[in-house]
Amino acid sequence: MKQNEEIFSWESWVTIPTNSDFSLQNLPYCIFSTPNNEVKKIGVGIGEYVIDLNQMQQLNAFDTFNLSENFFLKDYLNDFIGLGKQITNAIREKIMIALKKENGTENNILFHHQKSILLPQKNLKFHLPVKIGDYTDFYSSREHATNVGTMFRDPNNALLPNWLHLPVAYHGRASSIVVSGTDIIRPYGQTKAADAEKPSFHATKLLDFELEMGFIIGKNTKLGENITTAEAENHIFGMVLFNDWSARDIQAWEYVPLGPFLAKNFASAMSPWVVVMEALEYFKVETPAQSEVLDYLKFEGKKSFDIQLEVFIKPQNSEEKLVCKSNHKYLYWNISQQLAHHTINGCNMNIGDLCASGTISGSTPDSFGSMLELTWRGSKPILMHDNTERKFINDFDTVIMRGFCEKNGHRVGFGEVNNFVLPAK
Amino acid sequence: MKQNEEIFSWESWVTIPTNSDFSLQNLPYCIFSTPNNEVKKIGVGIGEYVIDLNQMQQLNAFDTFNLSENFFLKDYLNDFIGLGKQITNAIREKIMIALKKENGTENNILFHHQKSILLPQKNLKFHLPVKIGDYTDFYSSREHATNVGTMFRDPNNALLPNWLHLPVAYHGRASSIVVSGTDIIRPYGQTKAADAEKPSFHATKLLDFELEMGFIIGKNTKLGENITTAEAENHIFGMVLFNDWSARDIQAWEYVPLGPFLAKNFASAMSPWVVVMEALEYFKVETPAQSEVLDYLKFEGKKSFDIQLEVFIKPQNSEEKLVCKSNHKYLYWNISQQLAHHTINGCNMNIGDLCASGTISGSTPDSFGSMLELTWRGSKPILMHDNTERKFINDFDTVIMRGFCEKNGHRVGFGEVNNFVLPAK
């Protein structure tokens, strides 16, 4: 099923508020549980509801798919993703058709049993949607790499020599990736001031967010196999919002020569919703112009996505302040190039693996994707609505990231990733 | 059960060849399968045999432990490790006592049923022993870091400023870690010669090994918890031999500023045997003298291990050539410091996570743990027994690493990790 113009003209019998991320054309997946039951289940977002897929299966709505009993009672989406796109897309199509306005009739299982199948999101608990085997973080925003290179190295040679030739990336920690809503504890660590003789030990003073998105691998490959740019999207199940929490003072001291470690692995946060690639098809755009690349990084057609991104800081007793507006389409390297590069040496991929984009900054100062860049190392603090200033993130702040596609009045969104910051223990 | 002097005086009714790694005092764990059955099982090495723990359970040898049915039919050791040291050590003690010479009697289940329980290692297939969630690679050999810094940076400031203050580390790829015996495919990648205008794409010309050891996490911790140097060994199940396969030309071009990526994640290899910490206790030694460190990195007592390490290269139609003799005790940072550092920011650990040491080089040129160092970037080739020279690793070579402790005539060894190198696809 292609997300073509026709589908975007469909309406649903479910009431979908204006500006809802969870339109009929989206149907993102999540893992949820209900207040009185710890069992985790696979759900699909629609408007202000989650569709309980287990309930649908019990009512025989999926009998044509030969799924095992209680298939949707799962801690993670991995087994569902493992069914393959042919089946997962057919299930999604079945749900989409059942939600169409003209199918709001009593002989439609979903409509008839809507009281037991459609659960209000506000009553539910959301969990990390995938079991992440390996987590890779790219560094694919030219503006971000340029900003960092300008601040910490040489403004005249801000990009390192390899940057325009390959999508730079490094491996991150999978165990400390948490779902939106999880509190972040300010980490301790070693830092060294430039003028200090010795390092010192304290809670980070420069806690920061990084506005990122990630894609979830949808197919296993074997060691020695590689994935071409043409094939890449078939190997990707969907995308998520991602906050790569960072401690800048720890990072500056530890990161040579092998990259960031404790400055990142204390926590990263993911949206509970995985938006499938098929829902994003309609919002594809051209990738920014590139210098010449080696053959395995060449690609044809539209491989970038127009996904509007926003970051807000909410001080404890104040309103949210919008501090950044960016867009996934600003990324210099598209996700097909990222995956082609990652596997060109035969590195194997597993279902549920996460590849994040790196900080997504635009070209204007209000589009930078981290406090490091927005306040230019703290030299330009940002005023909150309660008149306090932020150079970096304070204890008891909440950082909220939102993302959505919008075109011709149609919206497909990612919900949000938000985290409240607790003081160091 | 402490591995005290008394235990090292015990002998077994099983014939154990002189210089066997798998003495009565070792009893390392593995995952194996038999030629006619794909089911994977947990085994214990003794002499030239593997003890089939499932067979022992079926014969009621472990009835006192309340294990679930078919507990030892497992793809990985993780569930076994998850029983906790109190139980896994009690199981190991029971096996050790059953193997004692004076218990070689017919009322001993293991002795009586030895034909079905003791399986010759040469008939078995060995598998990756643990499901690795996250893999971290340290960089803890001062000699290695100094050699690399001398070659690629400044001989007069070979160590970077942070090196003596913290155990530098980075995250690696877990999906591409394979067991000994798996063929390694020479990877393709981007490289750029210093005098070239543009990067080029080809199979690596500088394939290298890195002689390492790794430790396996034995206890889950939660985000926000940290592990002290005093507690660290209680959080470690055991150790393995590890070859961190590397492509030096890919590495040199890609690694700034975020560390090695495709130069490493095409494959790393692990011994099939996990030697538990309790078997290594007897071989503990002092850690090399250190500069002053921050409090959380201080430690008391013997925290290093006298483990002799060897690397051999075997050209296709020739004998093994010993190219390196090193020792785990040369590491500047001990494993307790590594784990304390890794968790000081609250990073959580899971059972089965792997922390590798980084290349273990000694102070003499014949103790360097990589071809990069042994041949000093290819400037001092090594002569094989068939009179061919090696600057790096050739197609159809086999690289073999071995490791063992030896003290007062007693030996506890790790077997080997060996890989045959296939040409690029």
Are B198 and A165 an interchain contact pair (Cβ–Cβ within 8 Å)?
A: yes
How far is residue B262's CA from residue A170's CA, in Å, rounded to a whole number? 9
A160 to chain B, minimum CA–CA distance in Å?
A: 7
- Best of A176, A226, A256, A258 to disrupt the B interface by mutation (most B CBs within 10 Å)? A258
Residue A348 has pLDDT above 70, yes or no: yes
Statement: residue B225 has pLDDT above 70 = yes
Taking only the tens place, the pLDDT of each residue in B156-185 is 999 999 999 999 999 999 999 999 999 999
Q: Which residues of B touch A190 (CB under 8 A)?
A: 162, 165-166, 294, 344
Nearest to A175 among B133, B172, B175 (CB): B133
Do the chains contact at B160 and A346, CB–CB below 8 Å?
A: no
A223 interaction partners in chain B (CB closer than 8 Å): 176, 178, 185, 266-267
Residue B406 carries which DSSP code?
Answer: E
Contacts of A257 in chain B (CB under 8 A): 160, 168, 255, 259
Nearest by CB to A350, from B169, B175, B201: name it: B175
Closest residue in A to B266 (Cα) is: A347
Which tokens go with B373?
A: 């160092």
Structure tokens at B145: 């870091």
Q: Which of B4, B75, B3, B15 is nearest to B41 (CA)?
A: B75
Per-residue model confidence as pLDDT tens digits over B284-341 = 999 999 999 999 999 999 999 999 999 999 999 999 999 999 999 999 999 999 999 9
Per-residue pLDDT band for A5 (boundaries 50, 70, 90) equals confident
| Residue numbers of A annotated as active site | 144
The stretch B349-378 carries a mean pLDDT of 98
> Å from B205 to nearest chain A CA?
13
> If you ran DSSP here, which 8-state letter would residue B339 be given?
H
Q: Is B114 on the interface with A (CB under 8 A)?
A: no
CB contact under 8 A, A173 and B295: no
In the prediction, which pLDDT does A2 show?
52
- Scan residues 24-83 of B and list those with Cβ closer than 8 Å to A: none
pTM of the model: 0.97
Q: What is the mean pLDDT of residues B119-148?
A: 98
Question: Does residue A353 sit at the B interface (CB-CB below 8 Å)?
Answer: yes
Predicted local confidence at residue A334, as pLDDT? 98
Put simply, whether B224 touches A (Cβ < 8 Å) is yes
Confidence of residue A407 (pLDDT cuts 50, 70, 90): very high
Active site members of B: 144
Question: Which among B198, B258, B296 has the least Cβ separation from residue A168?
Answer: B258
A105 touching B (Cβ < 8 Å) = no
Interchain proximity B201–A250, CB inside 8 Å: no
Interchain contact, A258 vs B139, CB within 8 Å: yes
For CATH 3.90.850.10, the residue range(s) in chain A are 135-422
Q: Taking CB atoms and an 8 Å cutoff, what residues of chain A touch B188? A: 226, 344-346
Report the residue of chain B nearest A167, measured CA to CA: B254
Are A224 and B189 in contact (CB < 8 Å)? no
Chain A contact for B196, CB < 8 A? no
Q: Distance, in angstroms, between B138 CA and closest chain A CA?
A: 9
Cβ–Cβ contact A186 with B under 8 A:
no
**Gap from B229 CA to chain A (nearest CA, Å):** 15
Q: Is the pLDDT of residue B2 over 80?
A: no
CB contact under 8 A, A160 and B257: yes
Phi first, then psi: give them for residue B264, nearest 5 degrees: -125, -35
Give B297-306 pLDDT, tens digit per residue: 999 999 999 9
**Residue B101 contacts by C-beta under 8 Å, 6 or more apart in sequence?**
B10, B11, B12, B13
Separation CA B22–CA B5 (nearest Å): 18
Peptide bond into B381 cis (omega under 30): no
Mean pLDDT of A178-195: 97
Could you tell me the two tokens for A336? 């097909």
- Is the model's pLDDT at A351 over the cut of 80? yes
Handedness of CA B365, B371, B377, B379 (dihedral sign): positive
ipTM of the complex: 0.97
CA distance A117 to A51: 6
Closest Cα in chain B, distance from residue A422 (Å): 11
By the CB < 8 Å criterion, does B162 face chain A?
A: yes
Residues of chain B with CATH 2.30.30.230: 7-127
- Pairing label, strands A236-243, A275-276: antiparallel
Tell whether omega for the bond before A257 is within 30 degrees of 0, i.e. cis. yes
Pairs across A and B, CB distance < 8 A: 178
- Please state the rounded mean pLDDT for residues B139-160: 96
Mean pLDDT across A316-328? 98
Could you write out the three-class secondary structure of chain A? CCCCCCHHHCCECCCCCCCCCCCCCCCCEEEEEECCEEEEEEEEEECCEEEEHHHHHHCCCCHHHCCCCCCCCCCCCHHHHCCCHHHHHHHHHHHHHHHEHHHCCCCCHHHHCHHHHEEEHHHCEEECCCCCCCEEEECCCHHHHHHHHHHHCCHHHCCCCCCCCCCCEEEECCCCEEECCCCEECCEEEECCCCCCCCEEEECCCEECCEEEEEEECCCCCCCCCCCCCCHHHHEEEEEEEECCEEHHHHHHHCCCCCCCCCCCCCEEECCCEEEHHHHHHHEECCCCCCCCCHHHCCCCCCEECCEEEEEEECCCCCCEEEEEEEHHHCCCCHHHHHHHHHCCCCCCCCCCEEECCCCCCCCHHHCCCHHHHCCCCCCCEECCCCCEECCCCCCCEEEEEEEEEECCEEEEEEEEEEEEECCC
Taking only residues 267 to 296 of chain A, the set having a beta carbon closer than 8 angstroms to any beta carbon of chain B reads 267, 294-296
Q: Which CATH number fits domain B7-127: 3.40.50.280, 3.50.50.60, 2.30.30.230, 2.60.40.420?
A: 2.30.30.230
Asked if B188 and A345 come within 8 Å (Cβ–Cβ), the reply is yes
pLDDT of A384 above 70 = yes
Domain B135-422 CATH superfamily: Fumarylacetoacetase-like, C-terminal domain (3.90.850.10)
CB contact under 8 A, A348 and B175: yes
Interface of A with B in 310-349 (CB under 8 A): 341-342, 344-349
Amino acid at B209: F
Q: Is B258 within 8 Å of A260 when comparing Cβ atoms?
A: yes
| CB contacts, 8 Å: B195 with chain A | none
- Tokens, residue A377: 């190392």
Residue B420, token pair as written in the block: 């045959």
8 Å CB contact between A356 and A212: yes
**Mean pLDDT across chain A, nearest whole number?**
97
Question: What are the chain B neighbours of A199 within 8 Å (beta carbons)?
Answer: 162, 165-166, 294
Residue A349 confidence (pLDDT) above 60: yes
Give A36-76 pLDDT, tens digit per residue. Answer: 999 999 999 999 999 999 999 999 999 999 999 999 999 99
* B350–A295 CB contact, under 8 Å: no
Mean of the pLDDT values across residues A195-212? 97
Confidence band, pLDDT 50/70/90 cuts, at residue B5: confident
Measured CA angle at B84 (ends B9, B282), to 5 deg: 25
Q: Which of A172, A250, A295 sits opposite B171 (nearest CB)?
A: A172
Comparing alpha-carbon positions, the chain B residue that sits nearest to A132 is B133
Average pLDDT of span A360-371: 98
Token pair of A260 as six digits: 């960031």
Mutate to test the interface with A, among B160, B165, B261, B293 (most CBs of A within 10 A): B261
B chain contacts of residue A224, beta-carbon cutoff 8 Å = 185, 425
Q: Which of B171, B179, B292, B419 to mutate to test the interface with A (most CBs of A within 10 A)?
A: B171
